[in-house]
Amino acid sequence: MTISPLFTDLYELTMAQGYLLNHHNPHVVFDMFFRRQPYGGGFAIFAGIDTLLDDLEGLKFSCDDISYLGSLGYFGDEFLEYLSEFRFSGSVLSFREGSLVFPEEPLIRVEAPLIEAQIIESLLLNIVNFQTLIATKAARVLVATEFGSILEFGMRRAQGYNGALMASRAAYIGGASGTSNTLAGRLYNIPVSGTMAHSWVMAFDSEAESFERYSELYPDTSILLIDTFDTLNQGIENAIIIGKKLRKQGKRIGVRLDSGDLSYLSKQVRARLDAAGLRYAFIAVSGDLNEQIAAQLLAEGAPVDVWGVGTQLATGHPDAAVSGVYKLSARYQGRQIIPTMKVSNNPAKMTNPGIKQVFRFYDKDRTPLRDVIQLADEPIPEGPMELHHPTLHYKRTMFSAFHSAEEQLLPVMREGKRLNPQEDLKIIRDRVITQLQRMDETFLRQINPHEYKISLSRALRDLKFRMIDEYNRG
């Protein structure tokens, strides 16, 4: 699937023509970052960069695109000609896909001629904002289920085809074990799963017959939906018959509960399965689940083995979006770098000037301690450092008790070419899980989490304050 660069806000193009005709197309540096964690949580999972890089490599206006733009009446021949030759020729640095990330730190750094950097803005934000939202949601569900087995099946209420496909991709990265979205399975190599709906059970003369037919056909994946008629008086009994039959073949069943009180029912069903000697039969639950409901079920001791999560995972509900932004941080004048920043009455809306790097500091067990945003030309941190709060100027600290430091923004694209092939999603998913497991639990709390520390280096903070002072002097 390639996307047209016409997938951009029109103002990017009206501005781009203005820059071209005013001969104002310097090399610039943009940072993508967000200011607030989604869901009021303590972390986000960065996702989408691999999708973005593929798209950037393929970006090209088609003849239809160009003639459409011509028809709008805004654009002259010189600009249309420029667009017909348009390719993204910039460089990109980025956090690794699947990194735990935090507010204020640059997640992606784009260096390109101004016009190119602007035309890709909407595409970049669209991809990364959404996939990060969903990967984060999946990781929250993963934590809530104590690293349980989660199946994503939200496609029927996801936002568009591609909303569904990207949601499946991002949910898997964030820790889901699989998806029901078969096309996502093929495109992204995600394990797919799914067995029967109520309509299957109702298509036969009896529930017992429907289970029988199913287990004959799929003896290895017989997850029987037992709530169509009466879970405890009928469904579980019919499932146990199949379970005993399959046990003789060395195979096991699962049962799925999709309605009713999942805590009460799962305990009853577990007891009945155990009493029938089907201790290995597993219990899947579904039905408008989210991280809060999962946590509550576990707190009540519900014996759930598999969590089917749909709409709320695929849409990131109750948040609609990660509010990622893309802001100019420097421009080149010849070979000289001019840092730029947005000065605002609202300190939270100020940006951090200059070309920056992010370091993550670890203790000896590789538990992350804090992140530091510094200027890219500062040396790799070693000894004790003076660190500053990103917005509150009176907050500072000395920091030295760390074991190692790791650069987070790595080169992923140079002159429009990606530097590495797509990673297998399984590797990205493993990275997410490893990081979550290394993180102190207080940062993973669902609500009111411990706030992970993001600091500015002394040099970055000094640059920022100097620029604010200059601005205030007019």
Report which of 26, 12, 87 is spatially closest to residue 413, judged by C-alpha positions.
87
Nearest-approach distance from CB 190 to a second copy, in angstroms:
11
Backbone angles phi and psi of 53, in degrees to 5: -60, -40
Site for a second copy in 307-336 (CB under 8 A): 311-312, 315-318, 320-324, 328
Backbone angles phi and psi of 242, in degrees to 5: -65, -40
Of 340 and 391, the one with the shorter C-beta distance to a second copy is 340
Report yes or no: 125 and 34 within 8 Å, Cβ to Cβ: no
Q: Is 221 in the site for a second copy (CB under 8 A)?
A: yes
Q: Is 4 in the site for a second copy (CB under 8 A)?
A: yes
3-state SS class at 439:
coil
Q: Is 182 in the site for a second copy (CB under 8 A)?
A: yes
Q: Applying CB under 8 A, which part among 19-27, 263-271, 360-368, 417-425 lies near a second copy?
A: 19-27
Nearest-approach distance from CB 441 to a second copy, in angstroms:
28
Nearest-approach distance from CB 400 to a second copy, in angstroms:
38
Of 124 and 387, the one with the shorter C-beta distance to a second copy is 124
Report yes or no: 428 and 46 within 8 Å, Cβ to Cβ: no
Q: Is 10 in the site for a second copy (CB under 8 A)?
A: yes
Site for a second copy in 228-287 (CB under 8 A): none
Nearest-approach distance from CB 117 to a second copy, in angstroms:
9
Q: Is 80 in the site for a second copy (CB under 8 A)?
A: no
Report yes or no: 126 and 47 within 8 Å, Cβ to Cβ: no
Binding footprint of a second copy, residue count (CB under 8 A): 85
CA of 252: how far to CAs of 257, 265, 277, 401, in Å? 17, 20, 11, 51
Q: Is 391 in the site for a second copy (CB under 8 A)?
A: no
Report which of 337, 329, 338, 331 is spatially closest to residue 358, judged by C-alpha positions.
329
Q: Is 289 in the site for a second copy (CB under 8 A)?
A: no
Can you tell me the distance from the alpha carbon of 218 to that of 242, in angstroms, rounded to the nearest whole number? 12
Structure tokens at 221: 């994946």
Q: Is 155 in the site for a second copy (CB under 8 A)?
A: yes
Of 22 and 336, the one with the shorter C-beta distance to a second copy is 22
Nearest-approach distance from CB 345 to a second copy, in angstroms:
9
Can you tell me the distance from the alpha carbon of 292 to that of 283, in angstroms, rounded to the nearest whole number? 19
Q: Applying CB under 8 A, which part among 88-96, 99-107, 151-159, 427-435 lies near a second copy?
A: 151-159
Q: Is 400 in the site for a second copy (CB under 8 A)?
A: no
Can you tell me the distance from the alpha carbon of 105 to that of 387, in angstroms, rounded to the nearest whole number? 14
Q: Omega before 219 cis (within 30°)? A: no
Q: Is 420 in the site for a second copy (CB under 8 A)?
A: no
Nearest-approach distance from CB 119 to a second copy, in angstroms:
10
Of 317 and 370, the one with the shorter C-beta distance to a second copy is 317
Query: Residue 340 region, left (φ>0) first, then alpha (ψ -120 to 50), else beta?
Result: beta
Q: Is 135 in the site for a second copy (CB under 8 A)?
A: no
Q: Is 207 in the site for a second copy (CB under 8 A)?
A: no
Of 15 and 241, the one with the shorter C-beta distance to a second copy is 15
Cβ atoms within 10 Å of 81's Cβ, excluding its own: 12
Q: Is 164 in the site for a second copy (CB under 8 A)?
A: yes
- Residue carrying structure tokens 């945003």: 373
Nearest-approach distance from CB 113 to a second copy, in angstroms:
13
- Residue carrying structure tokens 């600290």: 397
Of 60 and 157, the one with the shorter C-beta distance to a second copy is 157
203-241 burial, b at 16+ Cβ within 10 Å, e below that, comes to: eeeebbebbbebbeeebeebbbbbbbeebeebbbbbbbe
Backbone angles phi and psi of 335, in degrees to 5: -95, -5
Nearest-approach distance from CB 256 to a second copy, in angstroms:
10
Nearest-approach distance from CB 175 to a second copy, in angstroms:
19
Nearest-approach distance from CB 179 to a second copy, in angstroms:
8
